[in-house]
Amino acid sequence: MRYEKYLAAVLHNWPSKVLALAFALMLMVFFNLTRLEQRIINVPLAVSLNDEMALSTQLPRTVRIVLKGERDTIYGIREDDISAYLELSGIKSEGAYRIPIKLEKRGNALSADPLEIAAEPLEIAVGLEKKAIKTVPVTPSFKGFLEPGYELSSFDIQPPEIVISGPAGLIARTSDVSTDIIELNGKRSDFSIQVRIMKKDPLITLEGKDTIAFSAKIKKSMQAQTIENIRIAVKNLPSGLTVSEPLLSGVARVAAAEGIALPTQDSGFLYVDAQGIKKPGVYTLPVKAENLPGIVIDTFEPQEVQLAIESLGVAGGVSAGGQGNSGQNSQKP
């Protein structure tokens, strides 16, 4: 009898009691929610691709992750306790896709409770294109100027070419890759450095190392000049013999470092060696150039000349051009 009275009291006006209990539960949940704090962190965005496809749109490097929970809980979570990634390995057709960002908890995030995790945005637009691979040359990028009076004579890049990969259309348009800035300001001697390779587009991937070895050879600047009407000297002509006038003249292209005087027309740096001549006659001899310190003789003309040699005191000599008294033949000593 007592049990029936108790049950009747409990069930009396039960709809109102159920509403009151539900309201109380809602108040408790709301109270708990108001106790939760929010924290925003940025984590790297990883991408999983298959070997056939490449990204044709640039993706953000990081994504915003919203953490909700008790203060001590969410601030005990580090950025590397949450990983964010796009799963694209199953896609093998070109096109544009909207891919949800997947999140994975690690470390302190596994034991955190209560904890709510959400990515902002929830999904990302992704473009995919067939992957292409290509070998391209490496081009150096220079900045500044060498010390006055010096010039870059040559340089070497190792390796001179690298392999790149990426979306087929972009790879087809890429003819080379460049290095990071190589500073030349104030340099006056040879140098070697390691230089990073710069990609022209972030969608390009460097297959292998991302640095090259650069070496440069620096020399003093050269002043160049063409000298005409150069007197061709005759050396080692035996005594008792002489050369009929007029002598031939030549032309030479010469170069020298700054501050070194160039040879003159009459300095005799072009010459013929008459040491082997023993008697009068017409001789064809090669023209030679003196080795002058600090001076480079690039080219000169003529390469050979004809000399008419006669005894001292003989009149009516033969000209240096090879014409003169009849009966004399051109010969080499």
Average pLDDT, the chain: 84
| Neighbour-count burial of 18, counting CB atoms closer than 10 A to its CB (0-12 exposed, 13-18 middle, 19+ buried) | exposed
Same domain, 265 and 324: yes
210 vs 298 pLDDT, higher one: 210
Query: Higher confidence at residue 11 or residue 239?
Result: 239
- The span from the CA of 172 to the CA of 154, in Å, is 30
What is the per-residue pLDDT across 294-331, written as a single tens digit (0 to 9) for each? 788 888 999 998 888 888 865 444 433 333 333 344 45
How many separate domains does the chain show?
4
Same-domain check for residues 198 and 296: no
DSSP 189: S
Question: Which pLDDT score is estimated for 4?
Answer: 62
Structure-token pair, residue 7 = 């049950």
Kindly state whether residues 82 and 26 are assigned to the same domain: no
Mean pLDDT over 24-41 rounds to 67
- The larger pLDDT score, comparing residue 295 to residue 94, is at 94
265 vs 226, which has greater pLDDT? 226
CB count, 10 Å around CB of 77? 23
Banded model confidence at residue 263, pLDDT cuts 50, 70, 90: confident
What is the rounded average pLDDT of the residues 167-182?
95
Task: Copy the structure tokens of residue 20.
Answer: 């009151």
67: pLDDT strictly greater than 50:
yes
Residues 12 and 62 in one domain: no
The CATH number given to whatever domain includes residue 90 is 2.170.120.30
Q: Is residue 181 domain-shared with residue 252, that is, in the same domain?
A: no
Q: Are residues 83 and 166 in the same domain?
A: no
Could you tell me if 288 and 311 lie in one domain? yes
Q: Residue 15 belongs to what domain range?
A: 2-33
Q: Which of 220, 238, 257 is the last residue of a domain?
A: 220
What does residue 261 show for φ and ψ, rounded to 5 degrees? -70, 135
Residue 227 and residue 314 in one domain: yes
Q: What is the DSSP secondary-structure string of 142-177? A: EES-PSTTEEEEEEEEESSEEEEEEEHHHHHH---E
Q: Among 183, 204, 220, identify where a domain stops.
A: 220
Are residues 18 and 55 located together in one domain of the fold? no
Lowest mean pLDDT among 56-60, 171-175, 262-266, 322-326: 322-326
Residue that the structure tokens 């990634």 belong to: 85
- In this prediction the pTM is 0.60
Residue whose structure tokens are 């490496």: 138
Same domain for 309 and 254: yes
